[in-house]
Chain A
Amino acid sequence: MAHEDLWKSILADIELQVSKAGFITWFKQTSIVDMKDGAVTIGVPNGFAKEWLQNKYHKAILHSFRNTSHTIKNVNYIITKPVDPNTEPAPVSIKKKREATDPVIKEAQSEIRELRVDPETNLNPRYTFANFIVGSFNEIAHASIQSALQNLGKSYEPIFVYGGVGLGKTHLIQAFGNEAMVKFPGTKVKYVTSEKFMGELLDAYQDAQRQLPQKMDALKDRYRSIDIFIVDDIQFLGKTEKMQEDFFHTFNALYEKNKQIIISSDRHPKAIPTLEERLRSRFEGGFVCDISAPDFETRVLILKMKANEKKFPVPDEIIEYIAHSVKTNIRELEGSLNRLIINTKISNSPLTIEEVKKLLSTSGNVKKFTTPKKIIKAVAEFYDIKEQELINQSRKQHFVKPRQLVMYLLRNELSSSFPSIGEYLGGRDHSTVIHACEKVTEDLKHNLNLEEELRSIKDKIYKL
């Protein structure tokens, strides 16, 4: 950071003018807190340092600053929390205390839970409800999380939120954790990604194998004593059976005690292959809700809010253009906005639509490449029918549905023309293709299953 480097060079300058003892005593734990309008504010650890620097070293410090930058006119000092936690601890002379921290005693002594010294929640304070935008695409998920907040542990058990990449799942569940900590101080909240959970388990296994069961016991204790358990990206758990078993035991232990559990995944529990039945049924027994892609209005809102946060006013028409072109996920929206901001800052010229168009088209819109053949193959495999059948004339619903999906995919993924799609799929008329695409689009709006299937098929296509 610029401040840190600047302060380092100022300190180097001052070190040469001051006695070693003086330098170490008074300048340790100082830092630049703020710098604007030609005034620098230095943070100092306590009142004595402030007094000393103000009276004895002010001239030297100001002089140093002026040497590096002519714009600095004034230096102020404020007392801030010490940056380095490793300050020389005040020599506490109450002897009995030293014994209380003896590890043997610590094991046996219970602690007042609310005052326990390690609130390792892993939550990122950046994610709050305040900056979470609700739209039709996520209002159910949002509502269920809010209701869980009102009735901790008594509402749905567990809450399972799923949705594609970059749509706000992590934001939502972390906001829940952060809010719960404020609303119910003293509750133990733990947020883990399934990957971190598995990592900890693995660690504990390895120790257990070496005849050291403490880590395992400690892990079990830790996880079973939490009040709110938030797991992100649980689909990764599906890869290992043993992990699932352990997760199941932890889950059950908390479930029995009516503790709130929130899970997020990139797909519906039904769609996680190799997920143990018992886990699947328990997840489905709670509240399963999805977060789909935001609609146009919401995208505009999100962009506006993010532009506000970054203190960068963007004209409405540009926001609408971005909202039109980036339809996939919120992360991409933010990414496009960031690109714009940086470009403007570098080029120092105001934003025009043409520039934006250029930026967004050359940027990450990497077209995922696929061929008609792959699409047909994927769909055929998914529905377990022969590729030939898709091209044949049969009108059996069994084949018509997949065929229509192929048409929809060819249109959407490859932007092929209607006649060419018709040609490819057994010499059909282009109007058949139009009808198919419209039908699938309409169905997708009501049929969740279809959405699932389509998603899985797309996954398949791009893996081929």
Chain B
Amino acid sequence: MKGIVLAEHLQKYIAVAERFTGKNITLPILGNILIEFLDQKIRLTATNLEIACVLNIPAKISKEGSITVPARAFSSYLQTLPPDDKVVLEEKEGVLYIETNSVKSKVLTIPPKDFPLIPNIKKEKGIRLPVVEFQQGLQAVVSAVSTSQIKPELNGVFISYNSKDTIVTCAATDSFRLAEKKIFTSKNEHSDFSFILPVRSVQEIIHFQSQEKEVECVFGDSQIKLIFGDHEIISNTTTGTFPNYSGIIPKSFETLITVKKDEFIDAVRSTSFFSSKLQDVHVKVESNNTVEVHAENNEVGETTIAVKGVIQGKPGYISFNYKFLLDGLQPVTGNEVLISMNNESSPALIKSSDNSAYIYLIMPLKNI
């Protein structure tokens, strides 16, 4: 096989494909990238058997063929080439010859016969989602995904679509906190659907850089294919049912706190240095429009930071794991965050003060 491609294309996409390779002791070929020279393009495929990518790069192909190369080594090597150079790639007897103006290299390849086959999901009607909002939606909730292996349904992000209001909802929980973000899509004919994406796949999708405005989602048998223009990501979906959490969110709250988001995040971060092994920070609300964030530790000391805010309702006191708290505050859009709570042992709700597209329900620490 033989072809010519721009170094910067190769560098960029081999680096992306490398992220999708797998470290599998039993099937070492998963650590390789499948390179196929096809009609006027080079196709890169990588997978770890849970998620896979298929990337198509424009190239001038004179002879078709396919090989696999070790991802790590190849990617690192490619980074050293000047991006503007044209790279001539030729495979002869299992060896890949790489040639630019100034560089001549040889890389040993492994034949593709053991490389996994990527399932071909028939393209029935897919749903088109805005790429940026979709990635932001996933990013907003991914921190709440559970790491415990007992319930695999919680090890991913639950994505559901409601055809009545054409809203795609992303949700995740580890039973300590629940995050949900709604994505608004344009009118379409798609019917309701829902699936659970494993967390690793979610992370790769968030990370994937695409120029496309929209991504097309196509469903297969326990799999989903995301088409970003010329490139595709295929992922397994988790079998199981995500818990129905609509009843969990309290209907009424006794205390409503509105504070400037950045100020509050800074306050939590600063006090967290003084938190104990439990990673606890305490939030106290009196009726004089000040929120006090406090933490103490026998060995280090203690600190209290006052943040101005607008308080409605009863004064209150509640403690949180500061990491969970920060996870929930970061994705809030806008300048102000609204924290609603009941008492020190009930969950509190965090959201933007002007919209409910994103909500984060967090359970407190038990006050001993």
Contact = CB atoms under 8 A, between A and B. Distances in A.
Nearest to B278: A108
B119 A48 contact: yes
Contacts of A280: none
Interface string A75-112: 00011110001000111111011111100110011111
Nearest to A115: B175
B245 A100 contact: no
B345 interface: yes
B153 to A, nearest CB: 10
Given A48-B49, A108-B365, A115-B175, A90 B199 contact: yes
Given A46-B49, A105-B278, A99 B26 contact: no
B221 A79 contact: yes
Interface stretch (B32-40, B63-71, B159-167, B236-244): B236-244
B119 A47 contact: yes
Contact of A52 (B116, B147, B151): B116
A421 B175 CA distance: 71
B116 A112 contact: no
A106 to B, nearest CB: 9
Interface string A110-130: 111011111000000000000
Contacts of B23: 91
26 contacts: A20-B26, A46-B236, A48-B236, A50-B119, A50-B221, A51-B119, A52-B116, A55-B117, A79-B221, A90-B155, A96-B327, A98-B147, A100-B321, A100-B323, A100-B324, A108-B278, A108-B280, A108-B365, A109-B176, A110-B363, A112-B176, A112-B363, A117-B146, A117-B150, A185-B244, A185-B247
A46 B47 CA distance: 13
A366 B142 CA distance: 65
B103 interface: no
B83 interface: no
Contacts of B340: none
Contacts of A346: none
Contacts of B151: 117
A25 interface: yes
B278 A110 contact: no
A290 to B, nearest CB: 37
Contacts of B150: 117-118
Interface in A37-61: 46-52, 55-56
Nearest to A105: B278
Nearest to B29: A21
B178 interface: yes
B347 interface: yes
Interface of A: 19-22, 24-25, 46-52, 55-56, 78-81, 85, 89-94, 96-101, 104-105, 108-112, 114-118, 185-186
A455 B151 CA distance: 48
A46 B149 contact: no
User: Quick one: which of B114, B117, B198 has the most chain A CB within 10 A?
Assistant: B117
B321 A51 contact: no
A22 B117 contact: no
B118 A105 contact: no
A97 B149 CA distance: 13
Nearest to B363: A110
B126 interface: no
Most chain B CB atoms below 10 A, which of A48, A78, A97? A48
A47 B236 contact: yes
B361 interface: yes
A48 B321 contact: no
B117 A115 contact: no
A111 B176 contact: yes
Contact of B178 (A51, A90, A115, A186): A115
Contacts of B223: 46-47
Interface string B352-366: 000000000101111
B243 A114 contact: yes
A93 B23 CA distance: 14
Contacts of B203: 93
B279 A105 contact: yes
Given A48-B236, A94-B145, 10 more contacts: A21-B27, A46-B223, A50-B221, A52-B116, A81-B240, A99-B279, A104-B277, A111-B175, A114-B243, A114-B247
- The binding surface of chain B is classed by DSSP as loop
Interface string B181-194: 00000000000000
B222 A47 contact: yes
B119 A90 contact: no
B179 to A, nearest CB: 12
A117 B116 contact: no
**What 7 pairs across the A-B complex have the smallest Cβ distances?**
A115-B175, A25-B27, A47-B223, A97-B147, A24-B26, A47-B119, A79-B222
Contact of B364 (A20, A96, A97, A110): A110
A290 B44 CA distance: 72
Interface in B115-134: 116-120
Contacts of B361: 112
Most buried by B among A25, A80, A98, A116: A25
A118 B151 CA distance: 9
Contact of A92 (B200, B222, B247): B200
Contacts of B62: none
B216 interface: no
A114 B248 contact: yes
Contacts of B321: 100, 105, 109
A230 B321 CA distance: 35
Contacts of B26: 20-21, 24-25
A50 to B, nearest CB: 7
A51 B176 contact: no
Interface in B215-243: 220-223, 234, 236, 239-240, 243
A110 B365 contact: yes
B148 interface: yes
B302 interface: no
A117 B243 CA distance: 11
Contact of A186 (B146, B198, B247, B363): B247
A270 B177 CA distance: 49
A48 B117 contact: yes
Contact of B175 (A96, A98, A116): A116
Contacts of A111: 175-176, 363
Contact of B24 (A25, A81, A85): A25
B239 to A, nearest CB: 4
A140 B173 CA distance: 43
Contacts of A24: 26-27
